[in-house]
Amino acid sequence: MDSVDRRKFLGLVGNAGAVTLASGLIADRADASESSKREDNAHSFGCLVDTTQCVGCRSCEEACNMVNELPKPETSFNDMTVLDEMRRPDASAYTVVNRYYPNPPNVHNELEPVFVKVQCMHCNDPACVSACIVGAMEKTKEGPIIYDPAKCIGCRYCMVACPFQIPAYEYHNSLTPEVRKCNFCFEKYTSTGEWPACARACPREAIVFGTREELLVLARKRIRKHPGRYVNKIFGENEIGGTSWMYLASTDFAKIGFEDMRCEPVPVLSETLQHSVFKYFLPPLALYAVLAVAMFLNKPTPDEEDETESQDAEVKNVHK
Amino acid sequence: MSISSTISEHPVDVHNNHEEEAVEVGVPFFTRGVWVLVALALIGFGFAMYRFLFGLGAVTNLTDQRGWGLWIGIDVATGVALAAGGFTTAALAHIFHRHRYHVITRPALLTALLGYTFVAIGLLVDLGRYYFIWHPILPYYWQGNSVLFEVGICVVFYLTVLYVEFLPIVFERFIGRVNLPGAFAKMNAFADWALRKLSGAVDKVLWIFIILGVVLSCLHQSSLGSLMLIAPTKLNPLWYSSLLPLLFLLSAIATGFPMVVVESMVAARSFKFKPEMHILSNLARMTPVLLGIYLVIKVGDLIYRNALVHVLKFDMAAWSFLGEMFIGVIIPFALLCSKSVRKSHTGLFWASFMIVFGVAWNRANVFIVGFTPPFETETYFPAIGEFAVTIGLISTLILCYRFAVNNFPVFPREIVEEARAAVSK
Ligand code: SF4
Ligand code: SF4
Ligand code: SF4
């Protein structure tokens, strides 16, 4: 292959690359504008979980199990030994409570437990919704993220995408496996503005239901009123672009099972890239046009065979 | 010269190239190696059936934290990367008209076609609700924000394009040799006439499909890389980069020709003919350039993102990264820079094989090794059943390849005669 033709081939590669590269750059710059365009979630429904109030009674787990008609667990909800292990929500439990001992023993040489309820965070900018290939994950206008098994093809990309690692899968169901996660009791309660089952069941009012705006006001008020009781942070206010479920805590969130999350929503980059590549199909069409022109301009030349020979001759010379 | 006259003079020389005429090999299908493949394919089939009867959980080690495992990392992502020989050779031979490479376009096209077909089959086994695999085609389900949607649509279109590109080979096989069974024999003449008409029509539009195939491939290869952009908190920084789509595209392009080399040499061995070293060596001259571009961008990106420090952790991911880079990119790059390696049978094969292996390693790193979901309770290692299905699919693919070249004009006459002579000996 002569240098001209190598250059041409590289031209092709360069072109395809440039398209992707350019879109990458656009994406980087478009981040800011894109996220500000994203909906403001002040009126989405959410919950504030006050971990300083939670006593780990598992009433929320039980209520969730009942309202969603989930399979009965092996041991009853009164069995507190399950708290000895770290658990994650799974296909048969949309929410679980975990126990942590974030601090060293107190003056009485006792460890003080902190309990944390885990469920879907109902993100403002949900990765699962952005990822889903068929729109089976949907963000309702009220805020809750719900799932439609009739659309789902079971690709499990939502599970790969979710930064909180929430969606679980019915791996042992061979015919109609579903993605399972907290649905915020949307159909039953929250679509009409009623409290979800777990929040109602809580004997300590550790879970408060309301709009995101109201909850943020409430949370700030609590932090202001009892500065000794809370760290000055509302988990979920900004994490991953903000979530509908938010948490208050008395201690560093990293010590009670929360990942340190960045503020930018995770779907921004892929969505911007996708939209710039497919904006009026311009980049693909441009690549098509370039290739078509290349195809018709690069007429086969009759002296091509000689090239091979001269090359082989060159090789022979080298080997002599 | 006007464009239209160019079209008519060179209706994309896919099969009208008489000096490089291709014929079917037509040697006995079964050999000892073939029986081994049949056995592996059956074992894989058995596990796949088990999966359909008892669910994904019965056969795989997938967990709620690990939605994707071996089947997505290898069957799908690597399958697509290794099909890159199809569009790279199509671009070289049909768009840039390098005549000399025409002889390799048909085998490469066949590999791409089978590769993508098996990607689709692999996906079918992996999908929880495989019977809804058609959902993404219907506008009702379209979800334009989903990268996976782009990936899926590209697979559908590109598969169609590949089958259209293969049509001339089918026509060539049957034109003038139509032989319908029994009562249908009366229709032979008509069928032949119809085939000729169809073939003429396809020839006229084939160039459209060939360019389309290249465009779709570029989109598809890069969008596979975009899949992981949504998981910045989960993918190890050695791989997570906003340039992932570009890196996937460049590595696929760089793997295209080495894949053709590997596949030609394996075919040569199996059918007992001499590989066309003069063509393969020339093809390999481009590889250091293409691989070099990938290497520069990959390393540049790592430096720019300050990500190289993660190598110093020397954990599993770091070793896997080093292996991928050295064995899969740097060493074969250095090897193929040398003319004597490119001209040597063993050197060329192993250097190319390392690149092919390297791209598979890279895809496995991105989708499996480097993927570290939070709250993972047990580490994922593929189950026997997952390996069995993957190996079974690859074996079936090779069997289909053998069947296809045995029955359709894919290899040039010259080497086919050699293969036939070797058999009759
Ligand atoms: S926490 Fe995960 S599953 Fe829930 S809305 Fe956010 S991305 Fe979706
Ligand atoms: S598994 Fe279902 S809900 Fe999740 S991304 Fe795939 S199609 Fe959507
Ligand atoms: S909101 Fe409903 S589904 Fe979600 S954890 Fe509470 S009870 Fe369960």
- Residue B328: which domain range? 3-10+30-375+382-424
pLDDT at B415: 87
pLDDT at B337 over 50: yes
Distance from Cα B135 to the centre of ligand 3, integer Å: 29
Per the structure, the count of domains in chain B is: 1
For the four alpha carbons of B300, B303, B304 and B310, in that order, the dihedral sign comes to positive
Within a domain: residue B17? no
Provide the pLDDT for residue A253: 96
Task: Tell me how far the alpha carbon of residue B98 is from its chain's centroid.
Answer: 21
- Quote the pLDDT of residue B1: 35
A26 to chain B, any CB pair closer than 8 A? The answer is no
Give the helix, strand, coil percentages of chain B, each rounded to 5.
75, 0, 20
Question: What is the number of the ligand closest to the CA of A179?
Answer: 2
Question: Going by CA atoms, what residue is nearest to atom 2 of ligand 1?
Answer: A162
Q: Decide: helix, strand or coil at residue A243.
A: strand
Amino acid (1-letter code) at residue B285 = R
| Residue A299 C-alpha from the chain's centroid | 51
Reply yes or no on whether the pLDDT at A183 is more than 70.
yes
Q: Is the pLDDT of residue B376 over 60?
A: yes
Residue B301 inside a domain? The answer is yes
B260 to each of A124, A146, B88, B107, how far by Cα in Å?
47, 47, 10, 8
B162 domain residue, yes or no: yes
Tokens 């370039």 locate to A290
Q: How many CA atoms lie within 13 A of A320 on its CB side?
A: 6
B243 has pLDDT over 80: yes
Asked if residue A32 has pLDDT above 60, the reply is: no
A130 CA: distance to closest CA in chain B (Å) = 6
What average pLDDT score do residues A198-222 get?
96
Identify which has the larger pLDDT, A37 or B192: B192
Q: Which of A20, A178, A269, A276 to mutate to test the interface with B (most CBs of B within 10 A)?
A: A20
Q: Is the pLDDT of residue A84 over 50?
A: yes
CA distance B79 to B122: 9
A12 touches chain B (CB under 8 A): yes
Residues 6+ apart with CB under 8 A from A67: A185, A188, A197
| Max CA distance (Å), chain B | 74
The mean pLDDT value for A105-115 works out to: 91
Query: Residue B20 — pLDDT band, cuts 50, 70, 90?
Result: low
Question: With an 8 Å Cβ cutoff, are B96 and A133 in contact?
Answer: no
Distance B267 CA to ligand 3 centre (A): 58
- Residue-by-residue DSSP string for B91-145: IIIIIS--GGGHHHHHHHHHHHHHHHHHHHHHHHHH-TTGGGTTGGGSGGG--TT
pLDDT digits (tens, 9 = 90+) for B256-283: 999 999 999 999 999 999 999 999 999 9
Q: Which of A33-47, A64-78, A134-148, B17-31 shows the lowest per-residue confidence on average (mean pLDDT)? A: A33-47
Say which residue the tokens 């199996």 belong to. B270
Q: Indicate the pTM of the whole model.
A: 0.89
pLDDT at A279: 72
Would you call B147 and A131 a contact, using CB atoms and an 8 Å cutoff? Answer: yes
pLDDT exceeds cutoff 50 at B361: yes
User: Over 50: is that where the pLDDT of A30 sits?
Assistant: no
Contact B102, B20 (CB under 8 A): yes
The bridge status of strand A137-139 relative to strand A145-147 is antiparallel
Q: How confident is the model at residue B59 (pLDDT cuts 50, 70, 90)?
A: very high
CA distance A52 to A40: 29
Residue from the list A16, A134, A266 with its beta carbon closest to the beta carbon of B218: A16
**Chain B nearest-CA residue for A131:** B146
Q: Which atom of ligand 2 is nearest to the CA of A154?
A: 1
pLDDT at position B201, please? 92
What is the distance between the alpha carbons of residues B299 and A153, in angstroms, rounded to a whole number? 37
A316 pLDDT tier (thresholds 50, 70, 90): very low
Residue A155 Cα to ligand 2 midpoint, Å, equals 5
Residue A121 has pLDDT above 80, yes or no: yes
Give the confidence band of A301 by pLDDT, cuts at 50, 70, 90.
low
Contact A173, A179 (CB under 8 A): no
> pLDDT over 90 for what percent of chain A?
68
Residue in chain B closest to A302 (alpha carbons) equals B99
Residue A256 banded pLDDT, cuts 50, 70, 90: very high
The ligand 2 atom nearest the CA atom of A156: 1
Residue B344 belongs to some domain of the structure: yes
- From the CA atom positions of chain A, what is the Rg in Å? 28
Which of A278-292, B85-99, B226-240 is least confident? A278-292
Q: What is the pLDDT of residue A174?
A: 94
The answer to the question of residue B202 being in a domain is: yes
The model's confidence at residue A300, banded by pLDDT at 50, 70 and 90, is: low
CA distance B178 to chain A (A): 33
> What distance in Å separates the CA atoms of residue B424 and residue B111, rounded to the nearest whole number?
27
Position A100 confidence tier, pLDDT thresholds 50, 70, 90: very high
Q: What is the DSSP letter of A240?
A: G
Indicate which CATH number applies to the domain containing B42: 1.20.1630.10
Interface residue B405 vs chain A (CB under 8 A): no
CA proximity to A14, closest of A300, A288, A287, A270: A287
Mean predicted lDDT score pLDDT of chain B: 91
Q: Tell me, what's the ipTM?
A: 0.91
CA distance A40 to A43: 8
Q: Is the pLDDT of residue A313 over 50?
A: no
d(CA B424, CA A216): 83
A4 inside 8 A of chain B by CB: no
The residues, any chain, with a CB within 8 Å of residue A248's CB and separated by 6 or more, are: A48, A49, A50, A51, A52, A219, A222, A223, A230, A234, A235
Structure-token pair, residue A236 = 């979920």
Instruction: Give residue A2's pLDDT.
Output: 42
3-state secondary structure A171-220: CCCCCCCCEECCCCCCCCCHHHCCCCHHHHHCCCCCEEEEEHHHHHHHHH
Chain B window 195-234: which residues touch A at a Cβ cutoff of 8 Å? 207, 210-212, 214-215, 218-219, 222, 226-227, 229-234
Q: Which amino acid residue places its CA nearest to atom 7 of ligand 2?
A: A152
Asked if the structure places residue B20 within a domain, the reply is no
- From chain B, the residues in CB contact with A126 under 8 A are none
Indicate the DSSP class of residue A146: E
pLDDT at A10: 41
Confidence of residue A281 (pLDDT cuts 50, 70, 90): confident
Give the mean pLDDT of B169-175.
91
C-alpha to C-alpha distance for B109 and B126, rounded to whole angstroms: 26
For residue B388, tell me if it sits in a domain. yes
Query: What's the rounded mean pLDDT across residues A41-67?
Result: 96
User: CA B46 → CA B49, B386, B398, distances in Å?
Assistant: 5, 11, 18
Write down the residue that tokens 């390696």 correspond to: B341
Residue of B100, B140, B143, B247 to mutate for A, most A C-beta atoms under 10 A: B143
Tell me the residues of chain A between 42 and 61 that have a Cβ less than 8 Å away from chain B.
none
Q: What are the beta bridge partners of residue A117? A: A97
Q: How far apart are the CA of A91 and the centre of ligand 3, in A? A: 13
DSSP state of B312: G
Closest CB to A13 among B65, B227, B293: B293
Residue B23 within a domain: no
Q: Which of B53, B62, B377 sits opposite A171 (nearest CB)?
A: B62
